[in-house]
Structure 1
Amino acid sequence: MPQHDRSSAVLLGMACGDALGAGYDFAGPLPPTADVGMRSGGGAHWARGEWTDYTALAIPVAKAVADGRDLKAEATLDLIAAEWVDWANTSPFAGAQLGAALTGPVPTAAGVRRAAREHHDRLGRSAGNGCLMRTAPVALSYLHEPADLATAARALSELTHCETDAGDACVLWGLAIRHAVLEGELELRVGLDTLARGRRELWSARIEHAERKVPSDFPRNGWVVQALQGAWSAIVTTDNSDAGQYRRGVEAAVRGGGNTDAVAGIAGALLAARWGLAAVPTEWRRLVQGWPGLRGADLVRLSVLAAHAKDTDEAGRPQAFRMHVVR
Structure 2
Amino acid sequence: MLDELALDRALGVVWASAVGDALGAPYEFQPSLPDSTPVELKAGGPWERGEWTDDTSMSVPILRELAAGHALEDPAALGRIVAEWQDWSLGAKDVGIQTRAVLSLVRTPTEAVARASSYRVHLENGNRSAGNGSLMRTGPVALGYLGLGVEDTVAKAAARVSELTHFEQDATQACVLWSLAIRHAVLTGRLDVRGQLPHLGQDAAARWGALLDEAEAKQPRDFPNNGWVVHALQAAYSALRHGDGLLDTLERAVRCGHDTDTVAAIAGSLAGAVYGAAALPSEYVSALHGWPGLDAGGLQDLVLATVNGEHVRGAGG
**TM-score range normalised by the length of the shorter chain:** over 0.9
- Match of residue 163, structure 2, among 158, 175, 196: 158
Partner of 2:135: 132
Question: Does 1:66 pair with 2:67?
Answer: yes
Residues 65 and 309, structure 1, Cα contact 8 Å, conserved in 2? no
Are 2:69 and 2:311, in contact at CA under 8 Å, matched by a contact in 1?
Answer: no
Give the letter for the 2:197 counterpart: L
Cα distance change of structure 1 residues 118 and 224 upon mapping to structure 2, 3 Å threshold = same
Quote the residue 1:316 is aligned against. none
CA contact (8 A) 2:223 2:232 kept: yes
Structural RMSD (CA) = 1.2
Residue 24 of structure 2 corresponds to residue 29 of structure 1: no
The answer as to 2:275 corresponding to 1:275 is yes
Match of 1:189 in 2: 194
Provide the residue aligned with 2:315 in structure 1.
none
Aligned length: 305
Which residue number corresponds to residue 18 of structure 1? 21
Alignment of 1:305-316 (within 5 A): 305-310=305-310
Whether the 8 Å CA contact 2:246–2:275 is kept in 1: the answer is yes
Could you tell me which runs of 5 or more consecutive residues in structure 1 were left unpaired when the two chains were aligned: 240-244, 313-327
Give % identity. 46
SS class of match (1:247): helix
Task: Map 1:142-181 onto structure 2 (within 5 A).
Answer: 142-144=145-147, 145-181=150-186
SS of 1:301's equivalent?
A: helix
Q: Deviations over 1:159-188 (max 9, x none)?
A: 111111101000111011111111111121
**For residue 219 of structure 2, what is the aligned residue in structure 1?**
214
Q: 1:234–1:252: 8 Å Cα contact kept in structure 2? A: yes
> Relative contact order, CA 8 A, sep 6+: which one is greater?
2
Counterpart CA distance in 1 for 2:16 and 2:293 is 18
Secondary structure of the 1:130 match is coil
Contact 2:136–2:263 (CA<8 Å) still a contact in 1? no
Deviations 1:68-90 (A, max 9, x none): 10100111111111111111111
> How far off is 1:122 after superposition?
0.9
- Of 201, 209, 213, the residue aligned with 2:206 is 201
Question: 1:83 corresponds to which letter in structure 2?
Answer: E
Whether the aligned pair in 2 keeps the contact of 1:88 and 1:103 (CA below 8 Å) is no
* Partner Cα separation in structure 2 for residue 103 and residue 30 of structure 1: 35
- Structure 2: 5+ residue runs without aligned partners? 313-317
Distance of aligned partners of 1:147 and 1:296 in 2 relative to their CA distance in 1, 3 Å threshold: same
Paired residue secondary structure (1:103): helix
**Structure 2 Cα separation of the partners of residues 74 and 161 of structure 1:** 17
Q: TM-score, normalised by structure 2?
A: 0.93
Aligned 8 A contact 1:138 1:153 in 2: yes
TM-score by length of 1: 0.91
Distance in 1 (CA, whole Å) between partners of 2:122 and 2:171 is: 13
- 1:235 — aligned with what? 240
